[in-house]
A and B are shown apart, each in its own frame.
Chain A
Amino acid sequence: MHEIDLLTIVTESILKERLIADLKIAGATGWTLSAAQGEGPRNRRVSEVEGGNIRVEILADPVTIARIWDMLKDSYFSNYAVAAWQSTVQVSRADRYLGNESQG
């Protein structure tokens, strides 16, 4: 088993396509998306009309994760409802998530 960084982002579902495009620009090779419900300090979203929140999970190398954090700080935190946290998890086949293996 290997240790690897997991970044979890919960945000407004309206941002789904933009966020995924930005994750790819930042170098993420994969992501998992699911619907999420919850409450936060910011009450300015339109997502209740558009279908709740989304939760995006990304396993990646530390450089990519750092780039995603920068991206969130630059373009998401100030204007949108975002909760994001990073943790370390155990995986097998770490190469699969680190983007340095051609076949996955």
Chain B
Amino acid sequence: MGVGEFDSSVQYDFKVDLGASLSMASTNVLSVPVLVFLLGVISVRLKADLRLPDPVYQATAIYLLFAIGLKGGVALRASEPADVLLPIVVAVALGIVIPIAVFLVLKWVTRLNAIDRGAMAAHYGSTSLVTFTAALVFLDALDVSYEGFMPTLLTVLEIPGIVVGLLLAKRYASTRSRVEDATSRDWVAGDSVSRDWIREVVLGKSVLILFGGLVIGFLTGVQGYEQVEPFFGGLFTGVLALFLLEMGVLAGRRLSDIRTAGPGLIIFAIVFPVFAGTLGIISGYLAGLSMGGAMILGVLCASASYIAAPAAVRLALPEANPGITLTSSLGITFPFNLIVGIPIYYLVAQALESWFL
């Protein structure tokens, strides 16, 4: 289309979208999973403990990871390898670029040291399964289609961000810790600490169950999936809601720490996801994804890990302060993405659609 036509059509689209997007945002906020999350947050304010029993929490986490992986594996089998390859390459690149950007941006907007910035990079470079899942539920509710192999990208994006973040922190903190290492532990195998975190990241439980689900879904295909669909498909949103109750409690406990986080960190925890999400959406279009797929890739880039990354960071960077990273990722970014971010990324994907598709 010519440049002259372009302006008017964009304006027209925008007017139509505004009304639709308001109802879409309310669809998101008034969904059971999001409201249950808010219930969890409120329960902390009311000093009532709505946490799930620990084994139930672990089981729901396994269920969600496996169900996502399984569904993704089934879709992966149905996809053309050529369609999947470029998005995977792009996801790996994003998994490297985003943590580096976090590390650099935080140097400007906060006074965090290199270790804490590396820890933040690991959290924001990795992804949040629940945010991803909520975005899928959101698109399903709007009847917007997306590539079925998106869980593959979730798996791909889970690891590089954590590794890059930890490497950045270790590189900038290496002089000091090497001196410490030399003076202490003569009896511990010298590299046991570094081995631990690589194993924790690469063979962590969550990655293994997600990847296992992908492989099993790929091997069994649609026929195999039909047998377990009532459990892993039909009950999915309900289990997600239960899990979000738990996340609401955990996020609610972090809310009181936000005041101590400082304005730089708060602004970062809200603005950076929008930046990273937009980067992900643009990259998604460039990799040939549909509007729904590009939006999901944006959500993956915008979300911060609060399960896999904290565990890996705690083991690999014990000097890092989890109070900072968890307050930011779980206390600010996660609720922001869940309630406001997902509709925003959808609007951005919609606005950019005409440029790419």
Closest beta carbon of chain A to B254's beta carbon, Å: 10
- Please tell me which stretch of B32-40, B75-83, B97-105, B318-326 contacts chain A, meaning at least 4 of its Cβ atoms lie within 8 angstroms of it: B318-326
User: Of B54, B192, B253, which contacts A21 at CB under 8 A?
Assistant: B192
Q: Are B184 and A75 in contact (CB under 8 A)?
A: yes
Does A101 lie at the interface of the complex (its beta carbon under 8 Å from any beta carbon of B)? no
**CB nearest neighbor in A for B185:** A74
Kindly name the residue among A44, A71, A79 whose own CB sees the greatest number of chain B CB atoms within 10 A: A44
Which residues, 4 to 53 on A, are CB-close (under 8 Å) to B? 12, 14-15, 17-18, 21-22, 25-26, 35, 43-46, 48-52
Q: Are B314 and A14 in contact (CB under 8 A)?
A: yes
**Which size bracket describes the interface of B in this complex?**
20 to 34
Residues of chain A within 8 A of B318, CB atoms compared? 78-80
Residues of chain B within 8 A of A35, CB atoms compared? 54
Does B13 lie at the interface of the complex (its beta carbon under 8 Å from any beta carbon of A)? no
Q: A79-B318, A80-B318 are in contact. Are A46 and B310 (CB under 8 A)?
A: yes
User: Of B54, B188, B196, B310, which contacts A51 at CB under 8 A?
Assistant: B54
Q: Are A49 and B326 in contact (CB under 8 A)?
A: yes
Residues of chain B within 8 A of A79, CB atoms compared? 318-319
Residues of chain B within 8 A of A74, CB atoms compared? 184-185, 188
A39 to B25, CA, bound (A): 40
Q: Is the interface of A mostly helix, strand, loop or mixed?
A: helix
A25 to B330, CA, bound (A): 36
- Proximity string of chain B (304-322) to chain A, C-beta cutoff 8 Å, 1 when within and 0 when not: 0011001101110011011
Q: Are A52 and B184 in contact (CB under 8 A)?
A: no
Does A67 lie at the interface of the complex (its beta carbon under 8 Å from any beta carbon of B)? yes
Q: A44-B321, A46-B326 are in contact. Are A71 and B187 (CB under 8 A)?
A: yes
User: Of B184, B192, B310, B321, which contacts A50 at CB under 8 A?
Assistant: B310
Q: Are B188 and A46 in contact (CB under 8 A)?
A: no
A22 to B192, CA, bound (A): 10
A71 to B186, CA, bound (A): 10
Residues of chain A within 8 A of B307, CB atoms compared? 49-50
**CB nearest neighbor in B for A73:** B184
Residues of chain A within 8 A of B194, CB atoms compared? none
A29 to B253, CA, bound (A): 40
Closest beta carbon of chain A to B248's beta carbon, Å: 13
Q: Are B306 and A49 in contact (CB under 8 A)?
A: yes
Residues of chain A within 8 A of B196, CB atoms compared? 17-18
- Proximity string of chain A (64-99) to chain B, C-beta cutoff 8 Å, 1 when within and 0 when not: 000100110011001110000000000000000000
Closest beta carbon of chain A to B2's beta carbon, Å: 54
Residues of chain A within 8 A of B306, CB atoms compared? 49
Q: A25-B187, A25-B188 are in contact. Are A46 and B54 (CB under 8 A)?
A: no
Q: Are B323 and A44 in contact (CB under 8 A)?
A: yes
A46 to B318, CA, bound (A): 11
Which residues, 150 to 197 on B, are CB-close (under 8 Å) to A? 184-185, 187-189, 192, 196
Closest beta carbon of chain B to A84's beta carbon, Å: 17
A50 to B253, CA, bound (A): 15
User: Of A17, A18, A22, A49, which contacts B310 at CB under 8 A?
Assistant: A49
A46 to B184, CA, bound (A): 25
User: Of A14, A22, A25, A52, which contacts B311 at CB under 8 A?
Assistant: A14
Residues of chain B within 8 A of A50, CB atoms compared? 307, 310-311
Closest beta carbon of chain B to A7's beta carbon, Å: 17
**CB nearest neighbor in A for B54:** A51
Residues of chain B within 8 A of A43, CB atoms compared? 323
Residues of chain B within 8 A of A26, CB atoms compared? 187
Chain B positions within 8 Å of A, measured between CB atoms, are 54, 57-58, 184-185, 187-189, 192, 196, 250, 253, 306-307, 310-311, 313-315, 318-319, 321-323, 326, 330
